[in-house]
Amino acid sequence: MFRKLLIANRGEIAVRIERACAEIGIRSVAIYTEPDRFALHVKRADEAYFIGDDPLAGYLDARRLVDLARETGCDAVHPGYGFLAESAEFAALCAEAGIAFIGPDAKVIARMTDKITSKRLMREAGVPVTLGGLVELSSCEEALIQAEDIGYPVMLKPSTGGGGRGIRRCESPAQLRHAWQRVIAEANNAFGSEAVFLEKCIVDAQHIEVQVLADRHGGVIHLFERDCSIQRHTRKLLEIAPCPRLTPEQRAYVGTLAVRAAQVAGYENAGTVEFLVRGNEIYFMEMNSRIQVEHTVTEAVTGVDIVREQIRIAAGHKLSFRQEDIRHHGYALEFRINAEDPRNDFLPSFGRITRYYAPGGPGVRTDTAIYTGYQIPPYFGTLCLKLIVWGMTWDETLNRGIRALNDMRLQGIKTNAPLFEAILRHPDFRRGDFDTGFLTAHPELLNYSVKRNPEEVALVIAAAIAAHAGL
């Protein structure tokens, strides 16, 4: 097993990896730029190193991070998600330096992060894919011709990257023309590439993804599926495991497809195969060659520590489980509690957290790097914490989610927590009747009221008095 591991990331995922290292007996090494000087992942690590004043540059400097890993005696690097997690260059530099990269090798990353290449590979392997998406578009005119061929609506997407960024749904030629330059610009700014493609938009579909684990000894298993259909503009907000609407036959089929995809790709470590499901139609979208934000719900229903398995696989061990060992029990939900105002077009709400109280009780978990007094910097996105709840039944899980959201206290900023409570109370959601268009179809969910308890009201009054008195 590794002796020391550098975590090439920050925030809650860095804290999550530190916890796994502590349980295995590996020393953890954190990195931080100036805005993260007082961050929780820095405080919790066994060692921490400053990588520059610029908020982002240090986290994205692959060569410098590999040099730092060597200088500090690390024999492994975990990239987390985001930043360099799907950088083939970073994985290759680690390999050249004799440092284990906790993820697939550089060639596999390059193959799977290129969505056009991965779709071609899946089609050749007999995995169903959506219409289009097999060629890089060279002009808007070419896109218009292809859109007429496959039929509107279509999705215009960057060929690289992820997280729902840069994607536009186009209902007509006029919308496609309007979206073309914006998608090109976003793809270049976010992912350093202007490559885009077009595919058929599958409407009224569920976004289903399957967690896979693969070792270097030929072992490949899946840990069942997650439903990520509750989204805003292709950005995930709430994730569920397992999907409450899949039949046992669909569950077995989509799991088999995910394992086949991993085998065809020559995959090693943890990965996620994403599909669109509409009725009995199942289409491959992409494969994410990293740990996912929502891995927590899979851990909750299977009992498998995915980060621990990642580290073991990278160290050369066989999988701890066979496919027949994996069972799922109950349901789990993950709420991405973001610093944003859903009633104001999800405008970010960065600032100082004046009070934070984590919910607890049976079946409740929080993954976070915030604390009372923490200043949320405006450089890294809006995620504050991930609230995960588990229950034996669907109704129990929903009710536990409402209770946990009410228990949580996060003051000083606005969050999307009230929106989640409104979703959980909606009769369609409680029936499991939802797809990727759920929020668009139910704009009334944004009319929620923010409840204040007496203590919160007293704090607001005290702050107003202090401000008036010049204190």
Phi, psi of 397 (to 5 degrees): -65, -40
Measured between alpha carbons, how far is 195 from 191 in angstroms, rounded to an integer?
Answer: 10
| DSSP code, position 366 | E
Kindly name the residue from 251, 290, 312, 365 that is annotated as catalytic: 290
- Residues, the chain, total? 471
Distance, CA of 416 to CA of 386 (rounded, Å): 12
Nearest to 6 by CA among 64, 53, 72: 72
Tokens found for residue 399: 């009710």
Give 197's DSSP letter. Answer: E
290 part of the active site? yes
Sequence-distant (6+) residues with CB within 8 A of 463 are none
Residue pair 349/386 in contact by the 8 Å Cβ criterion: no
Residue 384 · residue 368 · CB < 8 Å = yes
**Coil, helix or strand for 273?**
strand
Instruction: Could you list the beta-strand ranges (E) of 140-262.
Output: 154-158, 168-170, 196-200, 206-214, 220-232, 235-241
Maximum C-alpha span of the chain: 72
R_g (Cα) of the chain, nearest Å? 22
Judge contact between 261 and 125, C-beta under 8 A.
yes
Alpha carbon distance 332, 351 (integer Å):
30
Distance CA 308, CA 360 (A): 24
Do 456 and 427 contact (CB within 8 A), yes or no? no
* Whole-number Cα distances in Å, 5 to 32, 48, 81: 15, 11, 16
What's the CA gap between 39 and 88, in Å, rounded? Answer: 28
**3 state DSSP class of 8:** coil
- 3-state SS, residue 112: helix
Give the 3-state DSSP-derived string for 389-445, with helices as H, strands as E and coil as C. Answer: EEECCHHHHHHHHHHHHHHCEEECCCCCHHHHHHHHHCHHHHCCCCCCCHHHHCHHH
Closest CA to 240 of 227, 224, 223, 222: 227
Cβ-based burial of 196 (10 A; exposed 0-12, middle 13-18, buried ≥19): buried
Residues catalogued as catalytic:
290
